[in-house]
Chain A
């Protein structure tokens, strides 16, 4: 064997080749050691820091959001724990994204595109959590948590969801919370909001966002590569729960108002209406119903795009609180302004008789009495009581548009009432100045006539209207309507107790208002409001019908009806000579087109319910639908 090992023929290269190979070994190991030294010793601190940084995060501890109660302590909003599924994009490797999203979508029974949309719509950095599903049921949440390692970057979080006890009944008032939007985020970030945070979007949730939110705490948390929390290292700051709100709203009155309005709407086939009840002595809103409404619980659970689009498309705008966020021509209810103004400016006295006629002529234009007849010579009780148009055309003419505008503003028209609800509109009080600004010309005399009876340019919100009558009922104080009574801190102490807020005192003698209250009573007693006088309680008030929109084939316009009424403190024996009323109620029936004044029927039904009147005075025949000429 081994004949090949003939030393004479083997090239003598072994030594040099072994030497070189050994050198390579030494060099290689040396290089590796040097590199290890560079990483671990020379730059070790830096890498340790990166390691610590990527494994520990400062996470916010959400503060429990404040609760909301009605004036009697009934819970209107609380928080219930729910499961939300979130994704931290940084922990979701790009290569696995499609698979993870598909798997998650299957578990949540949604479409992968919705999850992708949520991830792509992420407002924060790749290290911020993105909510991809909320209100996930417990078994699904459990499945997703357990699938942990197959779903990198996915977390199941327990979150508090808002639960609105009465849903649609209060949705317009309470509003809802929703995700922070892209435009809001930069500002909100500075205030400690997270990109996946919820905040009040509408109603009181938005108005009292600061109070309700509380102060978020923070804690440093260790996490693994998939973003799962492995342990809480330290609480940096405790969360302070949000303050609670006690509303002026009386749930019982709210339900009565909704019941009365729904009854009429269903009877008529009407789609839009408002009922408000207030305490005129304080400006407290006892009930405020705007229909159609929506269920804010749907928003709390994360409303689907389809449902939201449906709400937006509805022509009656369910998301709008029509009591404050829309204005309408007030019709004859506005005659309060001309009546008060004419008396206060001494254009008439309570005894002055003004001739009412079938029509007034101004140039070639006829300004018709609503019954095309008139009542002959009328004092203020007759004029207001029968709601004579020709009577108030003349009063408006005596005052002139600017003086009429002055008294409208005395009653609070033309600017927001300042109620503690968001997005209130101002309405319009026409004056020469206003028309110059808005339309570039002076008011014409005919427009002054129209303004006197709440038509033409006049536009008010239902809340402005009731607040004006509240000032009448309380003897001349215009209060800022309020919907939150007390703000109560998390420890139970009252942070802000209730105090009525006076906007101003009407610049009018008290006897003028006493006359106007009795004139409002005569509206009832003269049976302009049908059988309202038959109720076992005393009601004073004013109805109104306001035309709007485009005329039909016969030249008739659609119309809405109003009624504002109030009772004395002692509703049975009290007198409207006093200004002690505790309850003023208004109803607005949009596009009602009924034989009688629909709003009056609504308020009547509300009084029946509210005062527990057993006998039913409602007159359903008046609610017959059809295009009748309005009878103020």
Chain B
């Protein structure tokens, strides 16, 4: 293969403990872009916390809780960076077991809206384990695909990956959480693609999925899920029913203009015309209050972040690292496109958070773990042994 490794190896051995060298391998840009995205999320949390008579700085507001989660995420990030990711190779099956266990537990004791089971209450906090499950899924898949580096042209590799993703996907569907299941599928697709698996078999798999759609539509999807999936296609949505969110969020985005109405000045947001504006529809608040420019800044930050994630994968000599980066990139890209696309009316409504920006502890901490592992991969590259 030869041409792949152009740059010099920086860290030969973690045991050699060249902290300076390790620090040089740590991707500061990646961390910076992620931090800026988190900061944007906090700004949105702040503007969403401004309400008559309540200071955003009071305990319990979206903003202060966001700050707290950002702190937890930072610590998690550092711990994940320090953790030697190579343990995951040996611990792959236990990780898989943990993933299934958390999702099963959620189904058993989880709470949610209207009979669903989405999150678990831990003391005063709630935690959505399906967010963490995405990262665990990436770990498991990365180890699997790395272990089959030599058999990428075999159908068994692809089928094996599908079999691994199957159980967690079903558990998430049962919650029911259509959005997260789709993220699992996207992670699988992205990682298979990046693994270099045979185009022929990938094509066959894609064709199979497409063929499954009518069956899934008839037997698996619930009515409200179908309604949400199709309401964006409807040119005259029922603005008092399922199309209401979409209609209001498009108005919000549309009324932002070049520079937006200014933080805390969005009439759509502050007038509560926007539903779930702190979580799934947070981008509409951003677009209304910060305008086109704000939106472009966000997109550029995401593009830069994805670039750094891909670079980490490219540099990794360890196939696990490459695969892990591919999984994270697939997940972030998919969530970005589906979430923002939904807010702007070009994607169906699915409850998928915007990474880093959406208010929610589980999502943020999971992203911190993901990026921490990436940094761990960055700073623990072994010299190629050829």
* Chain A contacts to B: CB under 8 angstroms: 1-2, 4-14, 17-18, 20-22, 24-26, 28-29, 31-33, 35-37, 39-41, 43-44, 46-48, 50-52, 54-55, 90, 93-95, 126, 149, 222-226, 230
Contact = CB atoms under 8 A, between A and B. Distances in A.
Contacts of B336: 28-29, 32
B91 to A, nearest CB: 16
B317 A29 contact: no
A592 B32 CA distance: 100
Given A33-B296, A36-B295, A39-B253, 12 more contacts: A4-B150, A5-B149, A11-B196, A17-B196, A21-B193, A21-B310, A29-B336, A31-B337, A40-B291, A51-B254, A225-B272, A225-B274
A140 B254 CA distance: 40
A2 B295 contact: no
Contact of A5 (B240, B267, B317): B317
Contacts of A223: 271
Nearest to A10: B1
Interface string B325-361: 0100100010011001100111000000000000000
B256 A54 contact: no
A12 B4 CA distance: 9
A66 B72 CA distance: 66
Interface stretch (B117-125, B207-215, B378-386): B378-386
Given A32-B337, A230-B271, A54 B251 contact: yes
A51 B267 contact: yes
Interface in B1-30: 1-2, 4
A155 to B, nearest CB: 15
B382 A1 contact: yes
Interface string B300-311: 001100110010
B150 A25 contact: no
A1 B384 CA distance: 9
B127 interface: no
A36 B253 contact: yes
B83 interface: no
B344 A39 contact: yes
Given A11-B153, A12-B1, A36-B253, A28 B267 contact: no
Given A35-B346, A40-B287, A51 B244 contact: no
A94 B385 CA distance: 66
A142 to B, nearest CB: 17
A32 B310 contact: no
B299 A40 contact: no
Contacts of A11: 152-153, 196
B88 interface: no
The A interface is mostly helix, strand or loop, or mixed, namely: helix
A32 B317 contact: no
Interface in B231-287: 240-241, 244, 248, 250-258, 267-268, 270-274, 287
Given A29-B302, A51-B255, A2 B385 contact: yes
Contacts of B250: 39, 47
Interface size bucket, B side?
A: 35 or more
A40 B256 contact: yes
A32 B273 contact: no
B319 interface: yes
Contact of A37 (B267, B292, B318, B385): B292
A93 B333 contact: no
B190 interface: yes
A224 B248 CA distance: 12
Contacts of A225: 248, 271-274
B95 interface: no
A48 to B, nearest CB: 4
Which 5 A-B residue pairings sit nearest by Cβ, starting from the closest?
A47-B254, A7-B1, A224-B271, A13-B196, A225-B273
B35 to A, nearest CB: 20
Contacts of A52: 267
Contacts of B244: 93
Contacts of B252: 51
B194 interface: yes
B272 A40 contact: no
A36 B241 contact: no
19 contacts: A2-B318, A2-B384, A4-B150, A6-B150, A7-B386, A10-B1, A11-B153, A21-B193, A28-B333, A29-B302, A31-B346, A32-B340, A33-B299, A36-B296, A39-B287, A41-B257, A51-B252, A90-B240, A94-B241
A95 B114 CA distance: 13
B337 A28 contact: yes
A55 B271 contact: yes
Indicate the member of A6, A20, A55 with the most B CB atoms within 10 Å.
Answer: A55
A29 B299 contact: yes
B317 A44 contact: no
Contacts of A9: 149-150
Given A7-B2, A29-B303, A41 B258 contact: yes
B34 interface: no
A317 to B, nearest CB: 45
A9 B153 CA distance: 11
B314 interface: yes
A39 B254 contact: yes
Interface centre among B248, B254, B302, B319 (most CB of A within 10 A): B254
B350 to A, nearest CB: 16
Nearest to A95: B241
B241 A48 contact: no
B147 interface: yes
Contact of A17 (B194, B333, B341, B345): B194
Interface in B186-201: 190, 193-194, 196
B38 interface: no
B303 A47 contact: no
Contacts of B153: 11
B146 interface: yes
